[in-house]
Structure 1
């Protein structure tokens, strides 16, 4: 009797095992984000975390390696004309968008024209050099430039090169971000603001075998402590932007993995100098007050207090490790007496300043340290805490005096400065406008000589160091923490999470 029961149980388990194997094969990845992205439309969005979601959702014409080399993605090859005015790209065949629309040359033409012409597009300055784009074959496009543009390929490795379904884009217009349809390895399922963004595997993806998760869920958790606690409890499988003070603890935890890469970007304080009525105050109108605020800040101390020295102090859009960094304009030492003298010269013994800041502990602590330092020079800083996407909306609208905000950085130096500092730059929320800076930065875009480009960036920086529409504070190191069961993750300096060949250990 017992032998029969045992045989039946064994037979039952043999029958059940394929089902168990199927269940075990299902893999859902949960990623903790520091903020909730803004609109999920590559042409309209601007958040760093939005770009993380796009990495799984929207393929680009080209991508980068961890060493920042441009490599094929939807474009398989490209060549420049001798005069640098025509870029010809050969496109990948057999690709479809998530709604079944075929990817081809006409789709690329529609995407570039959308970036150039859609009223809500924030990519206009990034593709400004493209005078026209035509389909020179079913899977080939020619981009004709008004002038040589050394930055264009790098732009096409980011949101300007992300391809969305022209069918869906035409139907949805400015509301495309409510249900984004691209051609990436995962397709959009749902979004609940401040809670989650859910993607599922796109089985018809051209490189589907390299992606091993059935579903990817992005969970915005602004509190770094809570985000790490969720990873440790098993409610997350990985997180981005681990707080620097937690790095040692993660490294020593056998159940977790640690990964890092020096970033391409910066964190700073953007100042409203010309964006509506809130710029019409002494801080927005008198550079001496902005210079005084900068002199009141000890960037090295800020790095030590908040980040335990893991990050790098900075005063430019490029980190000190970058070949584009202007060594003739080093990080200024703190000088409270000089700051006071500048304030007095501007007619103030003290000055009230409101700075908006994202409602996460790290950025809040950054501004609390700045607040304490600036107080010694006579600045009375009040902090206005808000959700990150709202903070960006307020910046765009000009409803701010100063804002602690950063930029994740771009492969080409132009991406860190042109759109912020030129009069019509797509992300120039300070509305700073200096024709000489425009002239220098526009010229740097057209030169293919690196020494010539650097000289122009240096000259622009000399002006910007005095005008200070942005006070740069530091350059962060991207830090990821992962559950020990995750394998295949590669850290990139752009901070993106690429899931190709990433999977759970067997």
Structure 2
């Protein structure tokens, strides 16, 4: 808004100036500092947490989650199961447009679901392996027919498998659609400069446009948490993710910024390469006793205090302590150096050595060093490899690692918190651990909508998993964001994603 004050009367000038100063901004350019540069911006191919942060503003899903990790309508307004649990019928929101102006209808939904479940490049095929066919039953209704009951399907559609992209744009771009994604969310893609920024602009024809106040959003890639905070406090950023707990006091003392905290279903874990190529041929990969010894050398409570100022929730299971699918029969083991050394002696390797990959940010480096120091007291020698997220993913996918520190942002259904990482064909099972009985129990749990039955099967599976130690879960996160004092309307979600509908900037 501009005013030519030299050509206005003093009274009008005063009125205009007062109005400008008093009125809250109804639109704004919004800049967010994020830790990592995403991988490919195609829901079919992407696997990174960083990618999901961008998708949250760009690609609406058939189903969304609630702040507490329940499920709620988004592009689908309703869903119902058949009596035999073999058909899920979706009723779609009508009049929704893709960013290229094409209609988001039942044909588009079928196109996307068929692509996700059958395209050779799709990383969603395992998630949708239970889908036998997708049938268009009306302009705004779709029936998803299954080859077996699959209770987590609705939750699966609340993530990448439920993100709808323009069939016309995919037909034109093919595998390169991630270079210029065309979705149906509140913001559309503008540009991407690798390792620097991703720019989006408000989509004028968004179905829920009245809840979008921001003109544009730019994600700036800033791996260092202290640099992100500096840019927030200087006014160069409006928001930052992953505030380091040690920085919280300085935020609370600055009147120009504030902290927003919320619960999280995300967790960190150490993943071991047990069967993925030559790198698995070492003591930590070959022996569950060695891996268990490493777990016993770690003090999760101390890690939480040192690295996260006690804000996170230490634990040894994929489900958050005390929640419905967490198993109280397997509490977090305390640190026990003597027992760790005894297990190493039984395994015949009193001083095992291995390399552990971690992301190249300050928090991950501190965590790695604490783990290294603790493990050394039991006899372990750990070499830390600090890598960019892109290199980390490439090496993990290729099996070029012995151990790594992994993050999972969490999902509302328990199956999605363990199957991708630990099932024999899990798309994130980069260490290639495989146990047929474990897989059988997971399959039985997925095949029932009875919570008690599912809980019993997951608990049986957890017993196998904790005995084999293909990974070591360390703790669950707490969502921590920093914003400028004028930022209003942001709601933290337990999945840690930044949803920008409802967000505004009041000056």
TM band (smaller chain): over 0.9
- The CA distance in 1 between the partners of 2:8 and 2:236, in whole Å, is 37
- TM-superposed CA distance for 1:71, in Å, is 1.3
Partner of 1:101: 102
State the alpha-carbon separation in 2 of the partners of residues 69 and 160 from structure 1.
Answer: 17
Residues 1:418 and 2:433 aligned together: no
* Most deviating of 12-21 and 36-45: 12-21
Give the number of equivalent residue pairs: 502
SS in 2 for 1:369: helix
Q: Provide the TM-score with structure 2 as the length reference.
A: 0.95
1:489–1:502: 8 Å Cα contact kept in structure 2? yes
Write the deviation string for residues 286-345 of structure 1: whole angstroms up to 9, x where unpaired: 111111111111111111111111111111111213221111111111111111121122
What are structure 2's unaligned runs of at least 5 residues? none
Corresponding residue number in structure 2 for 1:475: 476
Tell me, yes or no, if the aligned pair for 1:122 and 1:427 is still in contact at 8 Å: no
Distance (Å, rounded) in 1 between the aligned partners of 2:120 and 2:286: 29
| 2:313 corresponds to | 312
CA contact (8 A) 1:265 1:416 kept: no
Q: Is the 8 A contact 2:27 2:505 kept in 1?
A: no
Alignment of 1:422-437 (within 5 A): 422-437=423-438
Q: What residue is the counterpart of 1:354 in the other structure?
A: 355
Decide whether aligned partners of structure 1 residues 270 and 375 sit closer, same or farther in structure 2, where only a CA change above 3 A counts. same
Name the residue aligned to 1:251.
Answer: 252
Do the aligned partners of 2:25 and 2:505 also contact (CA within 8 Å) in 1? no
Report the CA distance shift for 1:106/1:7 in structure 2 as closer, same or farther (over 3 A): closer
2:266, 2:15 → 1: CA distance?
55
CA drift of 1:23 comes to 13
In structure 1, what is the Cα distance between the partners aligned to 2:52 and 2:296? 34
Matched, 1:120 2:133: no
Tell me the SS of whatever aligns to 2:265: coil
**SS of alignment partner, residue 268 of structure 2:** strand
Specify every segment of 5 or more residues in structure 1 that has no aligned partner in the other structure, as ranges: none
Q: Is the 8 A contact 1:340 1:378 kept in 2?
A: yes
Distance 2:6 2:199 in 1: 44
Structure 1 position 33, deviation (Å): 0.8
Contact 2:268 2:476 in 1 (8 A): yes
Q: Distance in 1 between matches of 2:213 and 2:80?
A: 34
1:268 aligns with 2:269: yes
Q: How does 1:308-347 map to 2 (within 5 A)?
A: 308-347=309-348
Cα–Cα, structure 1 residues 420 and 360, in superposed 2: closer, same or farther, change >3 Å? same
> Are the equivalent residues in 1 in contact too, given 2:441–2:458 (CA < 8 A)?
yes
**TM-score normalised over the length of structure 1:** 0.95
Once the two structures are overlaid, the 10-residue window that deviates more, 92-101 or 10-19, is 10-19
Q: Secondary structure at the match of 1:390?
A: helix
Identify if the C-alpha distance between structure 1 residues 437 and 20 changes in structure 2 by more than 3 Å, giving closer, same or farther. Answer: same
Q: CA deviation at 1:170?
A: 2.4
How far did 1:173 drift? Answer: 2.3
How far does residue 498 in structure 1 lie from its aligned partner after superposition? 1.1
Aligned position for 2:499? 498
Contact 2:59 2:163 in 1 (8 A): yes
Q: Does 1:167 align with 2:161?
A: no
Q: Distance in 2 between matches of 1:228 and 1:395?
A: 30
Question: Helix, strand or coil for the counterpart of 2:467?
Answer: helix
Q: Deviations over 1:144-195 (max 9, x none)?
A: 0112211111111111101111112222222211111101110000001110
- Equivalence for 2:283: 282
In 1, Cα distance between equivalents of 2:394 and 2:19: 49
Equivalent residue number for residue 486 of structure 2: 485
Q: Deviations over 1:36-63 (max 9, x none)?
A: 1111111111111211111110010011
Maintained 8 Å contact 1:58/1:182 = yes
Q: Deviation at 1:16?
A: 8.8
Contact 1:63 1:73 in 2 (8 A): yes
Structure 2 counterparts to residues 23-422 of structure 1, below 5 A: 26-422=27-423
Structure 1 position 11, deviation (Å): 8.6
**In structure 2, distance between residues paired with 1:17 and 1:200:** 28
Distance 1:274 1:187 in 2: 41
